[in-house]
Structure 1
């Protein structure tokens, strides 16, 4: 029992991280269906209630069985580290209708009565139309449920990737998998990553490596799978989702504001996790150009350091920046 990813020598060097706004949209739709996933997202649920009520999500929910197959063509693994929703949706729209029919049939068969339902029969009778309509529905769901919150979500996911990339660099796959999810188990001697799940899935990576995607909405589960020819993928809950929907950072202390200026002090204090200019601007309610100016000044003063992730540049505090933001003497900051 369980899901098994079997690594060969070439796969060890081909693990990569990516973000997927299309996946977050899919899982946001699933959160509306699964009460057990909602505890961390109650503020978001209150904000999107009216928008969600205007969407008929039944066709998507019908393809989200509690156990079993989810259509792969609806969620192709992203091809790069940072893709747009529009790029991902274009791949969904380009799905082969006959392959989509079998994907849909497998998924519908996992939910009692779904194959015989009016929606299910309509999908299988005209898969080309089903592909178009499902893609259109995902686009509406993105615009209503996720796009307004994407800067905040992307900031969380980017910070997670940076954290785990460093764990991978420092301790290899064992350190990486040990910190992703309690249901993951890495066996160094056999090169096997196992997910404790009901059912069975066994995938030899065959040199493709493993794609790792953090997700805000997948909690509390970890998801692995994809049949050939899709790249093997592991989706896990991102760090810090407990504070995802909390209010913006508290105002910077007056003493720090007198020292740096109010705007720069607010930016420094808001960087409790690495973040991009756009994410900070959204978090603080400031114009991106204003945040960019503050970041340049703080970096020149040795309080921040940038790092690149895909097309994004993330900023994080240096030990001196941490000391100033926390009010601790520099000697108390671990190196």
Structure 2
């Protein structure tokens, strides 16, 4: 039977979009385990391979069954829209050992032989130590695998949130869920996730967290038993180009019109992004990028919107047309 999330009147007003660096860390570890998730991430895999080889990820991998329960205490839903990894990890470290042991057991029994394995026995024997060791391993995975790439990842996730927030405002929940993932559908007052396992939960005024992820593709993930916040994790838009290099040099005509730095910033804004994300991508000082963004916005080429503590910039229709223009030296011209 599929998953069912049953909405009441209050829940319709309490859907929100958080971003979780801790979730991305967990799913990055899962990408290393399951080859079907690696297609979009080969450039990243090449970069982090040596660092990944220096980590013993087996305890985390043992708790990532192909089908079945993943420990909720290791992946608590984020408490706010833009929490830090350190804030999220503190919640993992604060897990109750007794509840964590049952959570670990439920996960281990989903993989044949996991309970009897040396790692499984160690995890169950001393849950207080296991919580500490698993949190330490998540922290090392974050530092080695995700943190160096977080500005790029965060920019992708923030752009997705902005897109779907507008979709929600324009068409309501039915239009929103119709575009998140093929396995999601809206039926009456219920969000249905097509799955072989059964999960039925009334939201009871808590609402639903809708969390984009760069690493969860091709799946959509739902679950969390009480008291955890009901959550659906779905693949973020644009992951196919996440690790892609710039698609060619900035046209000379655009560079002459705006100046090369401002032209490159405009071309880089294929999806909304923050100052820090653009600075990291273009290898410029944040103060320099900020000054250029203000100039472009004053010229009517950019719009800005606030997301948590950050401001995202996106191109206006005029800027899109300018950025898409073809260099006269290429022998062709825009239609």
TM class by smaller structure: over 0.9
- In 1, Cα distance between equivalents of 2:143 and 2:319: 37
Task: Give the TM-score of the pair, scaled to structure 2.
Answer: 0.96
In the aligned structure 2, how far is the partner of 1:248 from the partner of 1:143? Answer: 26
Secondary structure of residue in 2 paired with 1:79: coil
Instruction: Identify the residue that residue 156 of structure 1 maps to in structure 2.
Output: 156
Distance in 1, Cα, partners of 2:116 & 2:207: 39
C-alpha separation in 2, matches of 1:319 and 1:48: 37
Across the two proteins, how many residue pairs are aligned to each other? 326
Partner of 1:186: 186
Q: Deviation per CA, 1:132-152, whole angstroms, max 9, x where unpaired?
A: 000000000001110111111
Tell me how far 1:249 sits from its aligned partner. 4.9
- How far apart, CA to CA, are the structure 1 residues paired with 2:216 and 2:70? 14
CA distance in 1, matches of 2:22, 2:216: 13
1:135 aligns with 2:135: yes
- Structure-2 residue corresponding to 1:88: 88
Q: Which residue of 2 aligns with 1:284?
A: 282
| Map of 1:333 onto structure 2 | none
Task: Tell me the equivalent position of 1:274.
Answer: 272
Residue by residue over 1:230-274, the C-alpha shift from the partner in whole angstroms, topping out at 9 and shown as x without a partner, is 000000000010011111353321111111111111111111110
Query: C-alpha displacement at 1:62, in angstroms?
Result: 0.5
- Residue 43 of structure 1 corresponds to which residue in structure 2? 43
Rounded to whole Å, the distance in 2 between the matches of 1:266 and 1:40 is: 25
What secondary structure sits across from 2:157 in the alignment? helix
| Unpaired stretches in structure 1, ≥5 consecutive residues | 329-335
Q: 1:73, 1:100 within 8 Å by CA — same for their partners in 2? A: yes
Report the more deviating stretch, 250-259 or 261-270.
250-259
- Unpaired runs of 5+ in structure 2? 327-335
Report the alpha carbon displacement of residue 105 of structure 1 after superposing the two structures with TM.
0.8
Q: Distance in 1 between matches of 2:251 and 2:287?
A: 23
For each residue in 1:8-41, what CA deviation from the matched residue of structure 2 results, as whole angstroms up to 9, or x when unmatched? Answer: 1110000000100000000000000001111111
Is residue 145 from structure 1 mapped to residue 145 from structure 2 by the alignment? yes
Per-residue CA deviations over 1:77-114 (Å, capped at 9, x if unaligned) read: 00111111011001100111111111111111111111
Other-structure match for 2:331: none
User: Does the CA-based 8 Å contact 1:214-1:235 persist in structure 2?
Assistant: yes
Distance 1:248 1:54 in 2: 30
Query: How big is the shift at 1:122?
Result: 1.0
- Aligned position for 1:125: 125
After TM superposition, the structure 1 = structure 2 runs for residues 102-113 of structure 1, keeping only pairs within 5 Å, are 102-113=102-113
Does the 8 Å CA contact 1:249/1:270 hold for their aligned counterparts? no
How many angstroms apart in 2 are the aligned matches of 1:87 and 1:251?
Answer: 40
Q: Distance in 2 between matches of 1:19 and 1:238?
A: 11
Query: Normalization by structure 1: what TM-score?
Result: 0.96
- Choose from 238, 251, 254 the match for 1:253: 251
Within the alignment, does 1:210 sit opposite 2:208 as a pair?
yes
Provide the C-alpha distance between the structure 1 equivalents of 2:40 and 2:270, rounded to a whole number of angstroms.
Answer: 19
SS, match of residue 216 in structure 2 = coil
The Cα RMSD (Å) is 0.9
Over 3 Å off, 4+ runs: none
